[in-house]
């Protein structure tokens, strides 16, 4: 999982959206994520499965759980190995569009007494007690839809990246290959004058290709081409580990092709859903007008898009249902897929997509292809052309001229998320470069901020928390020794990735031009698409990362059985080498524990030590586990996200399980660390170590969120809001209740507390 929702910045994955994630979170989706991780994360509502953040970056599918989700992930996800997010803009240097980097803000405090609200009772509302002061002093900035401690730190990282990119953008012949590539990409993105002068001309070749479609075969061929340049349409295709042999990558096809964040936006009949569809149609209509269509034609075309996407939504699996790996496990031959859905002409599609030869693949949602097979025949060719034009302009809008950018913002960020103003261009260009060239930009970032000693410090804490989890498993009264033995085998097999990759990605075959922002974006998408497709039929590369080093997030991947902590999160307020252990264990320790627990949540627990979808439980233990996780699902389903909208307890189950388990095992590791150092240290700032631990945990989730973004997340985000990530956990914790002297009957003492790990 990812620890948190990727930043509330709109992001698009280059490729499809694994939503978000591109993180990626696509709006996140960024990415985060996106968040990457919607991070603009385009996460296809249809493709996102709760629990796993699926990101379709450049057409590949990767599934993993991350700590946080990006803001409104845009659209399309599935099973990739993460990818690159992107926006698109340009600048040639020297240039009047240059945005001088401002000084990097000071480090964020790891423990902040001023963030607290001492007037609140910690046993009544611990979140208010820990974060009330921070929330009062930190209104949501105009260019955000959610503002929290994660976002604060990500903004600080953006400032660091901004300084790196402004220097790299200077056309100095002494720049090395990495600095030239990231600098020219950023410079092209910053050239607003050139981008605005071009208008929609940069996508004329693609528009002409769509206009030339004459048959259903041409539709499929064009879909393959659009996938190759990062345009999500109709369905998703990419590699993923074989669910029954996680050492090998196989092809995957999945549902996709939506423009709204989730299939339910098309199907629900409540007034808000109806309004959203009306606003969406108006938005699509406006985009067609910007392409030069007459208003009457644009209106009809927008309705056509909604009808096609509604048909796709009806065939799509529910987001919460997708959390069950068995629902996504359908290995079949290419011949069987062709029989299931002949109108997709998959043999032709795979050839047009330049995929390696393969005989078998996983069809994540066979019913989708079975149902949409008829739609391919019943929908007129002219309507398919309209649908594909829409997804082309939707994907490339952030890279086009100002009118496209403004209309894209008005619907995606302002209406859907409540964001008041668009981000500064330099920030969008930083995000785009990070998403397209993350492991290139990550190199100077790591040199400037992290270092080898950072890896060593973090690994020491990871080892301590893994030890605590192993002891906790052995102490579980509800689990038999047979299952405990298998759980220990899995825990010992977890791979730890800290800070940055051991081997950096090679971008030498990716062409970046200083005066070609849109084509840089599309070429980056194609580069990633090809990189992903080339994995099919090859061994899984377990050393590959799914987030860039500057990302403020973390994640666990069940098929890899690994936990991953980018350098971006390994700093205050999560980790500070100069502060007491209690604060660090409540911050990054809880994050580490969270990611470890993902290997044993409702989804991760169905994968074995090697990453195979294989049960290692006795039937009785599994039944008890399911009963305990149902307790959490019911608990969080009782929480109100906004207005009359409750959280989806099934959708958020994996993250809630990881939050509760992660805090507990980090707390146990803290107790062990204090014992090794000779006992409990003295109070600091009037708080005992146990209190500082829980306050540190509470404060990493301090946040303010717009009502619009809260509503969107309630429907699409597998993570609970910060308030419930804190109060939901501590109300189940006897350790918390002892630390603050809470009594039975108080809100932070649940009568029937939920305990899994």
For strands 555-557 and 60-68, give the pairing.
antiparallel
For strands 645-646 and 640-642, give the pairing.
antiparallel
DSSP class per residue in 376-398: HHHS-HHHHHHHHHHHHHHHHGG
Q: Cβ neighbours of residue 331 under 8 Å, at least 6 residues apart?
A: 242, 243, 244, 250, 360, 361, 362, 363
- Directed axis angle between helix 204-211 and helix 381-396, to 10°? 170
User: Residue 114 gets which letter from DSSP?
Assistant: G
Q: Report the phi/psi class of residue 125: left, alpha or beta, with left for phi > 0 and alpha for psi in -120 to 50.
A: beta
Cα dihedral 397, 402, 404, 405 in deg (nearest 10): 60
User: Residue 495 gets which letter from DSSP?
Assistant: E
CA distances from 5 to 36, 434, 559, 711, 718 (A): 9, 17, 22, 14, 9
The answer to whether 69 and 62 have CB atoms below 8 angstroms apart is: no
Closest by alpha carbon to 727, among 755, 749, 754, 706?
749
State how far Cα 539 lies from the chain centre.
Answer: 25
State how far Cα 418 lies from the chain centre.
Answer: 20
The answer to whether 315 and 368 have CB atoms below 8 angstroms apart is: yes
Q: Cβ neighbours of residue 135 under 8 Å, at least 6 residues apart?
A: 702, 703, 704
Separation of alpha carbons 252 and 360, rounded Å: 9
The answer to whether 342 and 374 have CB atoms below 8 angstroms apart is: no
Separation of alpha carbons 442 and 464, rounded Å: 28
3-state secondary structure of 507: coil
Cα dihedral 286, 203, 222, 349 in deg (nearest 10): -120
Q: Report the phi/psi class of residue 354: left, alpha or beta, with left for phi > 0 and alpha for psi in -120 to 50.
A: left
Separation of alpha carbons 216 and 343, rounded Å: 8
Separation of alpha carbons 151 and 265, rounded Å: 27
Separation of alpha carbons 447 and 549, rounded Å: 11
3-state secondary structure of 490: helix
User: How far separated are the first and last CA of the chain, in Å rounded?
Assistant: 16
For strands 562-566 and 495-499, give the pairing.
parallel
- Which are the catalytic amino acids? 595, 659
Say how many CA atoms lie within 13 Å of 696 toward its Cβ: 33
């Amino acid at each position: 999982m990812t620890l948190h929702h990727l930043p509330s910045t709109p992001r698009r994955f280059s490729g499809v959206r694994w939503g978000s994630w591109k993180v990626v979170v696509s709006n996140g989706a960024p990415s985060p994520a996106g968040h990457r991780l919607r991070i603009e994360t385009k996460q296809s509502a249809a493709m996102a499965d709760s629990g796993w953040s699926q990101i379709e970056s450049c057409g590949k599918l990767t599934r993993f759980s991350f700590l946080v989700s990006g803001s409104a992930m845009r659209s399309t996800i599935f099973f990739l190995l993460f990818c690159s997010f992107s926006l698109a803009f340009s600048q040639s240097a020297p240039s009047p569009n240059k945005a001088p980097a401002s000084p990097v803000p000071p480090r964020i405090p790891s423990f902040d007494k001023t963030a607290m609200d001492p007037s609140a009772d910690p046993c009544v509302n611990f979140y208010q007690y820990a974060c009330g002061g921070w929330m009062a002093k930190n209104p949501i900035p105009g260019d955000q839809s959610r503002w929290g401690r994660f976002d604060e730190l990500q903004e600080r990282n953006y400032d660091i990246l901004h300084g790196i990119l402004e220097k790299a953008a200077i056309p100095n012949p002494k720049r090395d290959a990495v600095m030239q590539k990231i600098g020219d990409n950023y410079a092209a993105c910053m050239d607003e004058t050139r981008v605005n002068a071009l208008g929609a001309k940069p996508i004329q070749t693609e528009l002409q290709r769509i206009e030339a479609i004459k048959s259903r075969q041409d539709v499929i061929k064009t879909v393959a081409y659009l996938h190759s340049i990062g345009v999500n349409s109709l369905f998703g295709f990419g590699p993923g580990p074989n669910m029954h042999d996680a050492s090998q990558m196989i092809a995957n096809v999945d549902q996709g092709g939506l423009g709204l964040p989730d299939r339910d936006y098309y199907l629900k009949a409540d007034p808000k859903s109806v309004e959203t569809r009306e606003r969406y149609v108006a938005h699509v209509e406006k985009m067609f007008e910007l392409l030069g269509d007459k208003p009457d034609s644009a209106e009809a075309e927008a309705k056509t898009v909604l009808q096609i996407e509604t048909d796709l939504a009806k065939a799509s699996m529910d987001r919460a249902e997708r959390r069950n790996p068995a629902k996504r496990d359908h290995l079949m031959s290419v011949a069987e897929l062709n029989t299931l859905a002949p109108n997709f002409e998959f043999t032709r599609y795979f050839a047009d997509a330049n995929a390696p030869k393969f005989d078998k693949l996983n069809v994540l949602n066979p019913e989708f292809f079975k149902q949409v097979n008829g739609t391919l025949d019943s929908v007129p060719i002219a309507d398919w052309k309209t649908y594909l034009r829409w997804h082309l302009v939707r994907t490339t809008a952030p890279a086009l001229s100002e009118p496209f950018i403004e209309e894209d913002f008005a619907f995606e960020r302002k209406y859907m998320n409540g964001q008041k103003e668009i981000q500064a261009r330099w920030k969008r260009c930083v995000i785009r470069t990070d998403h397209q060239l993350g492991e290139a930009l990550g190199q100077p970032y790591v040199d400037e901020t992290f270092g080898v000693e950072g890896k060593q410090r973090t690994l020491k804490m990871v080892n301590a928390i893994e030890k605590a989890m192993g002891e906790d498993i052995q102490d579980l009264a509800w689990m038999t020794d047979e299952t405990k033995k298998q759980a220990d085998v899995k825990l010992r097999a977890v791979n730890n990735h800290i800070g940055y990759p051991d081997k950096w990605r090679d971008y030498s075959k990716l062409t970046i031009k200083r005066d070609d922002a849109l084509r840089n974006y599309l070429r980056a998408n194609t580069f990633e698409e090809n990189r992903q497709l080339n994995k099919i039929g090859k061994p899984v590369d377990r050393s590959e990362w799914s987030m860039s080093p500057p990302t403020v997030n973390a994640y666990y991947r069940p098929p890899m059985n690994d936990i991953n902590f980018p350098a971006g999160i390994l700093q205050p307020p999560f980790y500070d080498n100069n502060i007491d252990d209690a604060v660090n264990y409540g911050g990054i320790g809880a994050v580490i524990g969270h990611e470890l627990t993902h290997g044993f949540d409702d989804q991760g627990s169905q994968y074995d030590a090697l990453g195979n979808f294989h049960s290692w439980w006795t039937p009785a233990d599994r039944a008890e586990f399911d009963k305990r996780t149902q307790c959490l699902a019911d608990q969080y389903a009782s929480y109100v996200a906004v207005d009359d909208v409750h959280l989806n307890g099934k959708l958020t189950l994996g993250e809630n399980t990881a939050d509760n388990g992660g805090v507990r095992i980090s707390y146990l590791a803290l107790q062990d660390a204090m014992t090794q150092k000779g006992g409990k240290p003295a109070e600091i700032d009037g708080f005992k170590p146990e209190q500082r631990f829980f306050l540190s945990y509470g404060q990493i989730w301090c946040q303010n969120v717009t009502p619009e973004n809260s509503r969107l997340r309630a429907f699409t985000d597998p993570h609970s809001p910060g308030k419930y990530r804190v109060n939901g956990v501590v109300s189940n914790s006897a350790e918390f209740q002892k630390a603050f002297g809470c009594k039975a009957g108080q809100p932070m003492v649940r009568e029937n507390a939920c305990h899994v790990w």
